Amino acid sequence: MQGGETNIRYIKRILKEANIDVDLALGMLDRINRNDFSADTVDFDEIPSVDGTGVVDVARLDAWRARARNVEAVFTRAKLPERLLASAVSRGDTYHFDRATLYRIGLHLLPFVAYGILNGGSATSYADRKKNRTFDEYVFSVYSDLFERVAPGIVGKPKGLTPAFFDPNGRSGPAFVELKMRSLLLQALRYRRVVGFSERVLYPMFQMTSVDNNDEIQDAYARYAAGPFLKPLIDRTGIEITHVLTGVQPMTAAYTHSSEGFPRRVFDRAYGERGRPLPLPGGHGQSFAVLRDVFVRLAELGKEFIQIGNVDNVGNVVDEVSLAVLALSGRPAGFDFAFRTAVDVKGGVLVRRKNGRLTCADIGAAVPMECVLASEKSGSPVLFNCATGLFRLSTLIDSLDRIVGEIPLRVTDQEKDAGKYSQAEQITWEVIGILDDPLIFAVNKDARFLAAKMLVENFLTSGIRLDALRPNSPTSTAIRSTAYRLHEGLVRKLTGVYGLKHTRSGWAPVD
């Protein structure tokens, strides 16, 4: 009994009052208590390295070999120019493509790609003072005054609407989503210059929002459409890039802390108030259920591939070479993993499970940091998840029931202002372990993974006060070295795919 009412009636009532999806919350609780695809660890066998077939170093890829039947199917279905096939070397039942030809194939395939983002929830942890201090105490001290000035304007906002970078003087740049939309419009223009007109290039864009932030996000898109970063390009291309296909994620609930024993129950004492549940997102892994109708609609529009990723990665743009490799391989999906650096402490790494399948497992929650460091010490680099996936759409749609049913629940205990509770999340990238024979693209972090899990990390990548980061400890020295490389990568991206120039007052669009 809880609150003097029949338990189930009480729970349903308080969940509904908190705008929590009752069926989702109770369904997840049932899965947790039945231990149905729920685990706190991953039974991984090894941390794999680049092998050239399943794990491909795409940054250094000079050529790719593909089976003739896969190649011919792609060329026929997409009606690719025969000259692209003529430039390949045919050997038996395979074709060998050099990197330049792969790029041209990928460019011609852009009208068959839809680009999507997983909008973050409220940027609370991202701008949380305690979490940013734990990143590195000394590094935080360098930015503490800037943090205190910037953080209040970020907390509570959808992550995608927060600045993607900051100018050297600390002024906010465009939002993550605004910048991504700009890159898609510029890529559409490049396609038209080389191939010709197509209204389908990388459009429509799609996304997952939540019941808590959808209205705010849609309002922001209307402003972006009239702003200096998008309006001139929308006028030139005729592409209404801010008209985004959307799936809205419902809220689930927090559950009781493990210290309260099992079975777990709905946590109903948030902030010490009895009868108050705590609404939480159930993880981006729910995107496969939330976006089901969007995927079907994209297929109806003639899309063959979708690229989807977390909103906070400035390096996440459609890469023509990776697209061509996936298309020609016949495989169901490809995922970017970057060689781990000193700043990659929160997120997932590539592991091979004991059943032989590759998957992504979070540092800490699933893979102990000691294992990560031991692998690196032995000379084997660890591949860190970039939170981007390139899917063959037809295969994804056919696999959705299986994915939705099998993607694990990760349950972690929390102790925050709201109290001691547990949070259940489905991690998007554990889909890697469900799909048959996916590709892994090993990439350079400074080219493909310019993400910001914490605000201080954004300051570092933005190149702010890097000269002030004097060697203080092995950790901060490594962070300083990484930050210079990340900032160089950011500058290349801003001046390249994002079409910006640096002026006295900061970064501005080139149109």
Is-above-0.85 flag for pTM?
A: yes
**Backbone torsions φ then ψ of 290, nearest 5 degrees:** -65, -35
Question: Do 227 and 178 form a contact (C-beta atoms < 8 A)?
Answer: yes
Alpha-carbon separation of residue 396 from 115, 309, 321 (angstroms): 15, 15, 21
Q: For residues 497, 500, 502 and 506, what is the CA-based torsion angle, rounded to 10 degrees?
A: -120
Distance CA 122, CA 157 (A): 5
The residue type found at 278 is L
Residue segments in the chain with a per-residue pLDDT below the cut of 50: 1-4, 40
pLDDT number for residue 1: 40
Distance CA 75, CA 88 (A): 13
Q: Mention every residue, 6+ apart, whose C-beta is less than 8 A from residue 108.
A: 78, 80, 81, 84, 195
Question: Do 95 and 88 form a contact (C-beta atoms < 8 A)?
Answer: yes
Locus of tokens 């925050």: 416
C-alpha count within 13 angstroms, C-beta hemisphere, residue 395: 18
Domain boundaries, the chain: 7-509
Q: Mention every residue, 6+ apart, whose C-beta is less than 8 A from residue 271.
A: 417, 418, 419
Per DSSP, 466 falls in state G
In terms of CATH architecture, what is 7-509?
Alpha-Beta Complex (3.90)
Digit-coded pLDDT (tens) for 141-169: 999 999 999 999 998 899 999 999 999 88
> Which of 463, 337, 321, 324 is CA-nearest to residue 389?
337
HEC states along 291-316? CHHHHHHHHHCCCCEEEEEECCECCC
Digit-coded pLDDT (tens) for 357-403: 898 888 876 788 888 989 888 888 899 999 999 999 999 999 999 99
Radius of gyration of the chain (CA): 23
Question: Per-residue b/e over 451-467, b at no fewer than 16 CB within 10 Å?
Answer: bbbbbbbbbbbbbbbbe
Q: Mention every residue, 6+ apart, whose C-beta is less than 8 A from residue 26.
A: 11, 12, 15, 266
Per DSSP, 251 falls in state P
